[in-house]
């Protein structure tokens, strides 16, 4: 080692010794070193630990470790390193106010441990849900209950650290005012518990479209807080819903529709049952000229010829009906419609006839989920239905009011 290097270390050592000789400067240097060392240790361990854990997780056949990794359990576990390192380094600092730093480090440890246990409980729930038994016996409620208890314990522990009192004293003091606290903070407690459930179950998110007729709410969620959920309705008004009502009462969340591949069209048109009849030879010839119906008519005529060859009376024969051909025509027409998602359920079906005729329902999914486009696609389908019905000899059912005599008009 040359003379310049020795001179540098001698000067550095002399400077460090002179700084340490001053009590206040020595404490400051030690505190800065504590923070720097803890930060370096955290980032180094987190980086290498994440790499090592990822390699181990990807090589194992188990799924539980993948779930733990996806929930960030190992990253949160590495967050224990800085407070532990800071706690150890504080042992070498002599300062009359060192207890303040130690309390802050204790609170740091409590918060980190809370996050670790919370991610572990979430991972346990995810692992359990991967088994078939979870469908009939879910444990989500119990996991949420444990989380609420842990958060309560963590809050009491942090407060006890700040005031330097045993948690038992706080619990005894709170129990004396429990009835008063429950009365004063009833809405806060209900909102807090409801908020935990809404968040844990992802029942609503900011930007979700929800509908709750009881509160005249039908629009986009703007804000979720302890007491209320703000919803901007489609008429630009704002509705506020108590948070706990979203748990105790029912509402509709349209997020599933937005995240799916289509928006459902389910609308019926009532057919006058007096217009239903067997097809005549002229009608069969007319329908055979349709590209949608030609193959179907030819196939059905061949089938009916074989079925009816041994029938002795017209009553025993099977024949094509105008409403049956119309249903097949509409199914073929919908399948040819580029605005309909053919990968989702689609059908044209009859519903139970009633006093208002025979409902024929179109059930399919629009590929475009935008409200305006969806309404246009749906309207185009039923515009075509109402216009094409007379071609099949069918009529829409309408109430007929008897005409009054001229003297009574």
Residue-wise burial string across 44-76, b where 16 or more C-beta atoms lie within 10 A, e elsewhere: ebbeeeeeebeeebeeeeeeebebbbebbbbbb
In a domain, 409, yes or no: no
Bridge partners (DSSP) of residue 231 are: 221, 239
The answer to whether residues 299 and 255 belong to one domain is: no
Task: Kindly report the pTM of this predicted structure.
Answer: 0.56
What integer pLDDT is reported at residue 295 of this predicted model? 92
* CATH number of the domain to which 247 belongs: 2.30.30.60
The answer to whether residues 348 and 239 belong to one domain is: no
**For residue 244, pLDDT beyond 70:** yes
Cβ–Cβ < 8 Å for 280, 226? no
In a domain, 377, yes or no: yes
What integer pLDDT is reported at residue 344 of this predicted model? 92
The answer to whether residues 248 and 371 belong to one domain is: no
**For residue 12, pLDDT beyond 90:** no
What is the arithmetic mean of pLDDT over 220-233? 85
In a domain, 7, yes or no: no
Using 50, 70 and 90 to split pLDDT, how confident is the model at 20? very low
Using 50, 70 and 90 to split pLDDT, how confident is the model at 8? very low
The residue from 107, 139, 161 where one domain ends is 161
Using 50, 70 and 90 to split pLDDT, how confident is the model at 132? confident
Cβ–Cβ < 8 Å for 141, 89? no
In a domain, 189, yes or no: no
How many domains, in total, are found in the chain?
A: 3
pLDDT higher for 399 or 221?
221
The answer to whether residues 153 and 204 belong to one domain is: no
Cα separation of 33 and 398, whole Å? 87
The answer to whether residues 286 and 374 belong to one domain is: yes
User: CA 22, 24, 27, 32 torsion: positive or negative?
Assistant: negative
Helix 322-335, helix 371-388: angle, nearest 10: 150
**For residue 21, pLDDT beyond 50:** no
The answer to whether residues 21 and 152 belong to one domain is: yes
Bridge partners (DSSP) of residue 232 are: 220, 238
The answer to whether residues 216 and 333 belong to one domain is: no
The answer to whether residues 38 and 125 belong to one domain is: yes
In a domain, 269, yes or no: yes
The answer to whether residues 244 and 270 belong to one domain is: no
In a domain, 186, yes or no: no
Cβ–Cβ < 8 Å for 73, 120? yes
The answer to whether residues 304 and 329 belong to one domain is: yes
The residue from 137, 161, 185 where one domain ends is 161
**For residue 309, pLDDT beyond 80:** yes
Using 50, 70 and 90 to split pLDDT, how confident is the model at 334? very high
The answer to whether residues 307 and 328 belong to one domain is: yes
The answer to whether residues 147 and 29 belong to one domain is: yes
In a domain, 167, yes or no: no
Q: What's the domain range around 240?
A: 195-259
Runs of H (alpha helix) within 260-321: 281-288, 294-308
What lies within 8 Å, CB to CB, of 66 at 6+ separation is 57
Cα separation of 271 and 281, whole Å? 23
Mean pLDDT, all residues of the chain: 78
Retrieve residue 151's tokens: 């958060």
**For residue 314, pLDDT beyond 80:** no
Using 50, 70 and 90 to split pLDDT, how confident is the model at 16? very low
Work out the number of other CB atoms within 10 angstroms of the CB of residue 135: 8
> Each residue of 54-96: pLDDT tens digit?
666 566 666 666 666 666 666 777 777 777 777 776 666 666 6
What is the arithmetic mean of pLDDT over 34-38? 67
**Integer CA distances (angstroms), 53 to 50, 207, 321, in order:** 5, 35, 68
Written in H, E and C, the secondary structure of 50-108 is HHHHHHHHHHCCCCHHHHHHHCCHHHHHHCCHHHHHHHHHHCCCCCCCHHHHHHHHHHH
In a domain, 122, yes or no: yes
């Amino acid at each position: 080692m040359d003379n310049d290097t020795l001179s540098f270390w001698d000067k550095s050592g002399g400077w460090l010794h002179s700084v340490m000789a001053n009590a206040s400067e020595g404490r400051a240097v030690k505190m800065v070193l504590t923070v720097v060392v803890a930060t370096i240790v955290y980032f180094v361990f987190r980086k290498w630990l994440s790499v090592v854990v990822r390699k181990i997780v990807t090589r194992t056949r188990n799924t539980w470790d993948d779930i733990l990794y996806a929930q960030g359990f190992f990253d949160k576990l590495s967050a224990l390193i800085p407070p532990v390192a800071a706690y150890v380094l504080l042992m070498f600092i002599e300062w009359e106010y060192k207890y303040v730093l130690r309390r802050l480090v204790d609170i740091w440890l409590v918060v980190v441990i809370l996050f670790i246990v919370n991610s572990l409980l979430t991972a346990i729930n995810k692992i359990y849900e991967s088994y078939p038994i979870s469908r009939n016996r879910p444990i989500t409620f119990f996991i949420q209950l444990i989380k609420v208890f842990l958060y309560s314990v963590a809050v009491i522990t942090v407060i006890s650290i700040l005031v330097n009192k045993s948690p038992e004293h706080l619990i005894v003091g709170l129990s004396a005012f429990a009835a008063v606290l429950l009365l004063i903070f009833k809405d806060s407690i209900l909102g807090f518990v409801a908020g935990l459930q809404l968040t844990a179950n992802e029942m609503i998110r900011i930007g979700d479209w929800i509908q709750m007729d009881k509160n005249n709410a039908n629009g986009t969620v703007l804000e979720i807080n302890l007491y209320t959920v703000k919803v901007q309705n489609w008429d630009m008004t704002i509705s506020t819903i108590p948070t706990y009502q979203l748990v105790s009462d029912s509402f509709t969340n349209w997020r599933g529709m937005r995240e799916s591949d289509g928006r459902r069209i389910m609308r019926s048109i009532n057919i006058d049952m007096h217009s239903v009849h067997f097809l005549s030879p002229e009608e069969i010839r007319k329908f055979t000229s349709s590209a949608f119906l030609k193959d179907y008519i030819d196939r059905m005529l061949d089938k009916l010829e074989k079925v009816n060859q041994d029938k002795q009376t017209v009553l025993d024969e099977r024949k094509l009906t105008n409403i049956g051909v119309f249903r097949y025509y509409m199914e073929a027409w919908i399948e040819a419609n580029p605005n309909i998602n053919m990968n989702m359920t689609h059908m044209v079906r009859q519903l139970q006839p009633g006093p208002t005729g025979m409902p024929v329902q179109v059930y399919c999914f629009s590929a475009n989920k935008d409200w305006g486009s969806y309404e246009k696609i749906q309207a185009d389908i039923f515009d075509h239905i109402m216009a094409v019905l007379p071609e099949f000899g069918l009529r829409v059912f309408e109430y007929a009011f008897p005409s009054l005599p001229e003297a009574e008009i």
